Structure 1
């Protein structure tokens, strides 16, 4: 029988395993952690936090695939009432509307921004420096990078357009992404995928058939002994707080003076926190010389503005740093095609969010997983199920 091994049980690994199994391959999946999910895990307990928002963009390819497989629902959209509580931080104050220059940039046609120029320079030539900086900082919600203006103009502009689309493309898995992981794992097992958790591999398994490595790039570099597996990413302080509910709190605060995003996730999914409480997350990109404390202080300044009396209402708090776990960012002169290739040779294929695959956020993991599974199946002489 045609055998395929998948290393990594996150979103990419499960997508690859399901795709391979649907085409008739015998699939074994190894996950080092005792639970599946990778960075798509949702915390246990009364406060169901994710490592970042993990928004599903409605226009993305994984949306259609999950829907076709019966894995998408239940899903939550942004309530119309809450959308009116989006606030923009400029000059130390919260505003209800963004600068006109930012809106003008979001309406520039896709593909107009150049690959070889940094976003800040290009955007400044279009709308002036003040508007360009505001747009770069707003785009950080889809980048997790401390200096979005330094990245490729084409890369940032594509994500700016999607992050600012109306109606919002972003939807959210009810119960957190862990609920989606559970549905995907159940589907994989139905197809006969053998899932081994707590299986920490230090080298590629000695097995017949192709191997799909669906881990972080750092883990893949060690596992494959391939020092070429590098690509820049972001570094972000995540601050999760639970507050007693108060009417009138902001839904989102987008910091336009510096990259930063605060979101009240119970606005679209009340199940994430106990009744009478709301779960809020701050995502504050930090530079290489900054610490988690710097990011947390930034979050608190925004909390002070959008959530009056939040310290007295605080019931729970947690903070962490997401380093190298925020997806690829493309410097000027590069595109997704320049990232580490999916095909590694000798029957080994790479999947994950820092690989040579298109898309935003989780779409990169998904697209690379489909491509890796397709290449692995083809190399085994298996016709890919469509």
Structure 2
């Protein structure tokens, strides 16, 4: 029987543990925290917040895999009237529709963007400066980066298309991501996976293949490999609970600068006490900006979309997501150029900043299944009902 050690009990680590156990391996998971989930944890208490929105996009391979195993659970549907309350800030005012120039970049017939040119340059040629700026800023909802226009045009275009597709691809587990994590943990337990929490790994075992499912920074320290680095986003997060008021926006997308607000209780009222609404703002900030700079911009959006919110606040939390928002690809690079999954000597690296395709959590999922396939001596495709072919993807 194969034995596999997984370091990290977040979404990627649990995916790897389940896939390996289903293939007949004996799996041990080490998690440094006292609970599983990593960045997919949901806060306990009356305000159930996540470290970012953590949407599940149903266009990726993980959706079918999770569905087949009943791991997603009940979803929080967005009422049509709430969906109509999406607002866009453009030239300092709220509007209901994007600028026409931006729509040119959303057409199905739009040209495939190149990898080796930045999005701002390419999109300006296609739709003009105003359309390019608005599209780049809107894409920040799936990028968490302070300057999306500076990234690879192909990278940004894929995320822009996924974020604006109708009907929307983004879905949210009812009660937060903890619901999905709990289901995954139960699945792993039933498959015989041994889970050790409060178990920090400072060295690698040498008697089994090891799947490292940590942040890239933690993996760099654990493996002693300074090459494990890749650009990511840095985002100011603000969670605000306010007393309910008719007419509040569902979401506000900033087209003047990267930024996004969303009222999560519009689709899932279990996230806050009755009579209250839970709003999260995510404002990407540059290397020389502070969290306070991002929070100030978030408050400007709140002023526009949530009238009188300051007098209605019942709870508030602020934080910074630094290097925890997935890989971003500069011009001339793609997912294949990120740190490789196979690190040699039976060590495999998974997560959302490694060499695997997909958007947001899809990268963690794809890399986890690929790592298990490699650890078991198989090809990284058609494992557990999810078809993966990293050479052709």
- Tell me if both proteins adopt one fold, taking TM over 0.5 as the criterion: yes
Deviation, 1:226, is 0.7
Deviations 1:314-357 (A, max 9, x none): 00000000000000000000000000000000000010000000
Contact kept? 1:378, 1:384, Cα under 8 Å: no
Change (3 A) 1:360 1:282: same
Residues 234-313 of structure 1 aligned to structure 2 (within 5 Å): 234-313=233-312
**Partner in structure 1 of residue 79 of structure 2:** 79
- The question of 1:228 aligning with 2:227 is answered yes
Change (3 A) 1:90 1:111: closer
2-structure distance, mates of 1:372, 1:333: 26
2-structure distance, mates of 1:59, 1:115: 22
Contact kept? 1:77, 1:170, Cα under 8 Å: no
Deviations 1:244-273 (A, max 9, x none): 000100001000000000000001111000
Q: Which runs of 4+ in 1 moved over 6 A?
A: none
**Partner in structure 1 of residue 68 of structure 2:** 68
2-structure distance, mates of 1:117, 1:212: 34
Deviation, 1:175, is 0.5
Deviations 1:23-54 (A, max 9, x none): 11000000001110000011111000001110
Contact kept? 1:377, 1:384, Cα under 8 Å: no
**Partner in structure 2 of residue 15 of structure 1:** 15
Secondary structure, counterpart of 2:154 in structure 1 = helix
Scaled by the length of structure 2, the TM-score of the pair is: 0.96
Contact kept? 2:353, 2:363, Cα under 8 Å: yes
Contact kept? 1:110, 1:158, Cα under 8 Å: no
Secondary structure, counterpart of 2:179 in structure 1 = helix
**Partner in structure 2 of residue 366 of structure 1:** 365
**Partner in structure 1 of residue 321 of structure 2:** 322
Deviation, 1:77, is 3.0
Secondary structure, counterpart of 2:20 in structure 1 = helix
Deviation, 1:79, is 1.8
2-structure distance, mates of 1:19, 1:65: 10
Deviation, 1:103, is 1.5
**Partner in structure 1 of residue 136 of structure 2:** 136
Change (3 A) 1:109 1:188: farther
Deviation, 1:108, is 4.7
Contact kept? 2:102, 2:130, Cα under 8 Å: no
**Partner in structure 2 of residue 199 of structure 1:** 199
1-structure distance, mates of 2:345, 2:169: 39
**Partner in structure 1 of residue 165 of structure 2:** 165
Contact kept? 1:282, 1:299, Cα under 8 Å: yes
2-structure distance, mates of 1:122, 1:209: 47
Secondary structure, counterpart of 1:112 in structure 2 = coil
Scaled by the length of structure 1, the TM-score of the pair is: 0.97
Deviation, 1:377, is 1.3
Change (3 A) 1:301 1:178: same
Deviation, 1:222, is 0.5
Contact kept? 2:234, 2:320, Cα under 8 Å: yes
Q: Structure 1, unaligned stretches of length 5 or more? A: none
- The alignment's C-alpha RMSD in Å is 1.4
2-structure distance, mates of 1:379, 1:126: 43
**Partner in structure 2 of residue 338 of structure 1:** 337
**Partner in structure 2 of residue 51 of structure 1:** 51
**Partner in structure 1 of residue 391 of structure 2:** none
**Partner in structure 1 of residue 186 of structure 2:** 186
Contact kept? 2:37, 2:178, Cα under 8 Å: yes
Change (3 A) 1:232 1:110: farther
Secondary structure, counterpart of 1:75 in structure 2 = coil
Deviation, 1:107, is 1.3
Matched residue pairs, number?
A: 383
Q: Structure 2, unaligned stretches of length 5 or more? A: 386-393
2-structure distance, mates of 1:138, 1:281: 16
| Bigger shift: residues 329-338 or 105-114 | 105-114
Deviation, 1:205, is 2.5
Secondary structure, counterpart of 1:243 in structure 2 = strand
Deviation, 1:78, is 2.4
Contact kept? 2:73, 2:179, Cα under 8 Å: no
